[in-house]
Structures are given as structure tokens and as C-alpha cells.
């Protein structure tokens, strides 16, 4: 299903401590993707904990789409501002944007397997 929120990302100054907290407090599983990123398992929605230098400043909802270029065009036409141009990541390709009310979000297309 396209254009649905299906991922949430939590920025963290300490990925290991954030992951340990979510695991202890809520029983969520943790999947490590390197020293800067952990994925969440069994959290009700897919998500991750990001401590990379270029991480966003606040929790970010991420929308999955089938056509990234079309989604970017629609975001800009509707008044959104691109905050990070399209880039590759391990799960596919995405861009970040800020909607007119100030929330930073992302849209991604999954990598074909």
C-alpha cells in the first residue's frame, strides 16, 4: 500500500542506551545495523533509533511510497520544503521534507529484493 506511514525514527544521542531503554520498558526487540542505527522489532510499527551525526532533531514519521520522484513532486506542490534531497540507505531510497506546520518527515521507496 503506497503513501502510508509505516516507519518511525527516534533520534538519539546514545543509541545503545535508547535501545536498552525501549527493550527493558516495552519488550521491543532490537536489530543492530551498525554503530549508529538500531531497528526496532515487535513495536507495533517498524522503526529505528538513529545516532548518526546527520540525524533529525525530533521523532520522524516515515511514509512508504511506490514512486519517490512523484511523491517528492507532490510534497513540493503541496507546500512542503525538501530538507534532505533523495539519498540511498540500506532499505532503499528516501528524502526528508518539512510540512508547512513545521514537522520534518520522510518518504521512501523500498529497495527491490
Q: Where are the domains of the chain?
A: 4-110
Rounded to an integer, what distance in angstroms lies between the CA atom of residue 101 and that of residue 86?
A: 22
Quick one: pLDDT band at residue 42, thresholds 50, 70, 90?
A: very high
Residue 90: the pLDDT is 87
pLDDT in tens, 10-40: 999 999 999 999 999 999 999 999 999 999 9
62-71 mean pLDDT: 96
Q: Are 104 and 83 in contact (CB under 8 A)?
A: yes
Bridge partners, residue 33, by sequence: none
Tell me the H-state helices in the chain: 15-26, 68-77
| Superfamily grouping for domain 4-110 | 2,3-Dihydroxybiphenyl 1,2-Dioxygenase, domain 1 (3.10.180.10)
Cell numbers given for 68: 519517490
Bridge partners, residue 32, by sequence: 38
Amino acid at each position: 500500500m503506497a503513501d502510508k506511514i509505516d516507519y518511525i525514527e527516534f533520534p538519539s544521542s546514545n543509541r545503545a542506551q535508547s535501545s536498552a531503554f525501549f527493550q527493558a520498558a516495552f519488550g521491543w526487540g532490537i536489530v543492530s545495523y551498525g554503530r549508529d542505527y538500531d531497528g526496532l522489532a515487535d513495536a507495533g510499527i517498524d522503526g529505528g533509533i538513529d545516532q548518526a551525526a546527520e540525524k533529525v532533531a525530533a521523532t520522524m514519521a516515515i511514509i512508504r511510497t511506490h514512486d519517490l520522484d512523484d511523491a517528492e513532486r507532490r510534497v513540493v506542490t503541496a507546500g512542503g520544503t525538501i530538507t534532505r534531497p533523495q539519498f540511498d540507505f540500506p532499505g532503499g531510497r528516501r528524502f526528508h521534507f518539512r510540512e508547512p506546520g513545521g514537522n520534518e518527515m520522510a518518504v521512501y521507496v523500498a529497495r527491490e529484493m
